[in-house]
A and B are shown apart, each in its own frame.
Chain A
Amino acid sequence: MSYTNEEIRKASELFFHLIDKKILPASNVLASQYYDDNSVREIINNMAAEGGLQVFATRQNLHLVAKGENSFFATTYTQMKEKYKKLDRKKHFYLANIIICVFLAEIDRDNVYTYRIEDLAISYYKLEELVTHTLDSWKKRNTTEENFSEQFAIAIDDIYHLWSVEMSHSKTAKGGGGFSLSAQTRLGFINEALKPLEQENLIINLSRENRIIPKEELYERLEALYHGGDRYEEIIELIQYTKKEQEDAETSED
């Protein structure tokens, strides 16, 4: 596997451009080389892998993303995590994660044929209701069943308390013109939790109309990063592995 100087030059040029822009339209002159030139594609994939990054191409866009845990690089998400670093703020970070997941689950579609992106805007109030449902059902099962791991169960209690006791309901401004964005309120915290997605330009946050609009790019990422069989296995393994590890640790303690 050897590449010409020209190929390396082209690939590096595109790579740095991609680092700068994060998403390039497939029609972009530089980006099109990723589609057309095998060598360029290989070099870039290698460069990305070395940095704990991943490049993937859809028919519309070329994306550069950090490969989660293994990446050296900060993201809008790790910046948020940084904010909740203090021990007593940990539950805020957990709650933010749950909100992101609930949001992603709500906008994700099994059947990709029959939806209009613009119909998928989701209202803050709807999202609030869904988060409440999720936490309620976890909380309920926490007290009646013993299926959850200990660490998870404790976290649930904390988060439930944070959401339903510590955070207040937001008041709608008259005439539907938005609501208080204070992070002490539920809606305000939803706004806070989705910031990484907003900064990443994956959603349009229309808080004054109470709604969040997912962008095409977010669907591309969901499709590429979660929908494939391999990716699915990988994620499930990731979560299950830790779970098993913990169980092992618990049994060895006994």
Chain B
Amino acid sequence: MTIEQGFFNRMKKLQPIRMLGTGMDLGELNEYAHEICFLLIQNIFKRELRENPNRTRNDMLLLTEKIMADMNLESSNEIIDRIVDGTLWYRDPNKQEAFEAKLYNEATKTKEDYFFRYFKVDRDNSHWEQGGSTVYMLTEESQEMIFITREILEEFGFDLEQFYTLQLIKTGNFSKARNSIDHLIARVRVLINREKEYRRDIIRDPQNIFMDRNIRGKKTEDEIRAQFEEEQEVFQNMLAWKNRYESLPNDKKGEAEVMFENLERARSLHNNLAQHVMGNLALEMEIRVKYPESFWNISTFSFKKDIWQNHIVKNGLGSMDDLELVISRLFSPEIEFIYPLDWAWSEQILQTKRKIRKPETYDGDEGWEFRETDWNLLVELYEEVFYALLEKGEFSILELNNKNENERKRWLSQKENIDLFMMFVISQVTLDFQYTGDDERLKLYRLLCDKDQVFKSLQNRKIASTIEDTVEVFKWQELFISPYIIYLEE
């Protein structure tokens, strides 16, 4: 056998590398195209790791300009446009098409179409409905390029990468450990994204539950849970080395500090991943139990093929007016509605609903969500947290351990409750009740201030987080969170 099994899949990985920077005409600079494109991808990747959302097409133009300046290359706007567009899209940038190659598949012995992109839309950061530009992130294909070109050319699994990081920390190799943590973070991000996409997929079509998507192998729920616990333990081990911080030579301290900060971030992201996975497992179960019929409904017709292509395009219509019959059913009625007195109570509900909504200047993303966030509940729950901040200047997640069963249920009733706490943990924030953007923490703060003026005294204070040095843990059902404290920075 000259052609081994898996050849097709190997080619899939090579193709993005092979095609990078080839589809653009930069004249004399053609020999640099490949390198500039890779640097662009690498820089976007770095911003992604640092949670920097400046990753729009415009940002890419600026980055490319900078890269070329650093390389001492002469650039023009036109050249920069071509580089960025040629990395974003294949051929005519106006059509925004995916890259396309024909690859030989050893299984079918034929050439098959393979499509890929270097960048994809970062939906969480593209606030289209608030007028924002599209924010891009790396696809798994282009991440792969970053990974295989790293200094240590080894393919690590998550656990191995963790242990490797631990070794580096033990030997005091902090800058290398930091690199390695970046990869951990990237990996967790990929996994979180997969879970998010999987969630959308199974909501849209439950039959996806049965598709072999290989998102977490064939593991049972218990095995997955055990794996998460093990991974958390390794993080714990790594963080335990923080105790040695004082004994470090001064020149190492700075490095160690940054490294441990990143490690903390990696751990909380890992926590977040665990929540996504457990949430999805629960959703799978819910769909299986509550909507068994959804596995039977297989749509056999499509608008594309059956109505448009095979019917209208092929045969034409009796009259062009008939198109109207096809389309008109797609739309909702527009009614200038005046509520009769009898329906006053229904208006009442609408009105109170509106009132709650008024302070929030955006609710655009709503359409993408499965559930609406219950902000009333959030405000009620966080009142206590903010009182603690007012009185003691800090709040530990462990304080929630004192809650009774009912209170716990309320905290667990929507995932935003805990997510919001983790958002405070992951990055610092300065409180501002006049803020109108879409940071949910600040929205929460504004709503709290609306409810009780006393919170306004926290205006402009910064909230940071730290981890408590204790053996006590926060563990409710499947939810495990490290003993974080959020506190007001002096």
Residues of A bordering B, CB below 8 Å: 12-13, 16-17, 19-20, 22-23, 25, 27-28, 30, 51, 53-54, 59-60, 63-69, 71, 73-79, 81, 94, 97-98, 100-102, 104-106, 108-110, 112-113, 116-119, 121-126, 129, 134, 137-138, 147-149, 151-153, 155-156, 159, 172, 175-176, 196-197, 200-202, 204, 206, 209-211, 213, 215-217, 219, 221-223, 225-229, 231-232, 235-236, 238-240, 242-247
Contact = CB atoms under 8 A, between A and B. Distances in A.
3 pairs of A and B residues whose beta carbons are closest in the complex: A243-B318, A73-B333, A75-B331
Contacts of B287: 59
A179 to B, nearest CB: 9
A186 to B, nearest CB: 13
B294 A59 contact: yes
Contacts of A117: 200
B325 A68 contact: yes
B110 interface: no
Q: How large is the interface on B (under 10, 10 to 19, 20 to 34, 35 or more residues)?
A: 35 or more
B387 interface: no
B318 A109 contact: no
A202 B329 CA distance: 14
Interface stretch (B43-51, B214-222, B362-370, B395-403): B362-370
A60 B202 CA distance: 11
A163 B320 CA distance: 16
A226 B307 contact: yes
Contacts of A69: 324-325, 328
Given A108-B302, A118-B121, A238 B332 contact: no
B350 interface: yes
Given A20-B350, A27-B370, A227-B301, A118 B334 contact: no
A68 to B, nearest CB: 4
B477 interface: no
Given A64-B333, A232-B301, A232-B307, A172 B94 contact: yes
Nearest to B331: A75
Nearest to A240: B318
Contacts of A75: 328, 331-334
Contacts of A202: 330
A239 B311 contact: yes
B170 interface: no
Contacts of B345: 13
Interface in B296-319: 299-309, 311-313, 315-319
Interface string B92-128: 1111111000000000000000000100110100001
Given A59-B203, A221-B330, A243-B318, A119 B307 contact: no
B134 interface: yes
B447 to A, nearest CB: 19
Contacts of B128: 204, 206, 213
Given A17-B349, A53-B333, A152-B319, A81 B303 contact: no
Contacts of A225: 329-330
With most chain A CB atoms within 10 A of its CB, the pick from B93, B94, B98, B201 is B94
A113 B211 contact: yes
A152 B96 contact: no
Interface string B329-353: 1111111010100010110011000
17 contacts: A25-B370, A68-B329, A71-B333, A97-B327, A108-B308, A117-B200, A152-B316, A152-B318, A204-B129, A226-B302, A226-B307, A227-B299, A228-B301, A235-B325, A239-B326, A242-B322, A243-B319
B310 to A, nearest CB: 10
Contacts of B97: 123, 126
Given A25-B371, A101-B308, A206-B134, A74 B334 contact: yes
B22 to A, nearest CB: 21
A68 B329 CA distance: 4
Given A74-B334, A210-B96, 12 more contacts: A22-B333, A97-B324, A112-B204, A113-B207, A148-B315, A175-B61, A175-B81, A226-B301, A226-B303, A227-B300, A229-B300, A239-B312
A215 to B, nearest CB: 6
A66 B332 contact: yes
Interface of B: 57, 61, 77, 81, 85, 92-98, 117, 120-121, 123, 128-129, 133-134, 197, 200-201, 203-208, 211, 287, 291, 294, 299-309, 311-313, 315-320, 322-335, 337, 339, 343, 345-346, 349-350, 366-372
A68 B328 contact: yes
B313 A25 contact: no
Q: Which of B57, B97, B205, B332 has the most CB of A within 10 A?
A: B332
Contacts of B367: 23, 201, 215-217
A226 B328 CA distance: 12
Contacts of A126: 94-97
Nearest to B320: A155
Nearest to A116: B197
A77 B323 CA distance: 12
A209 B327 contact: no
Contacts of A59: 203, 206, 287, 291, 294
Given A66-B328, A101-B327, A126-B95, A134 B121 contact: no
B271 to A, nearest CB: 25
A105 B328 contact: no
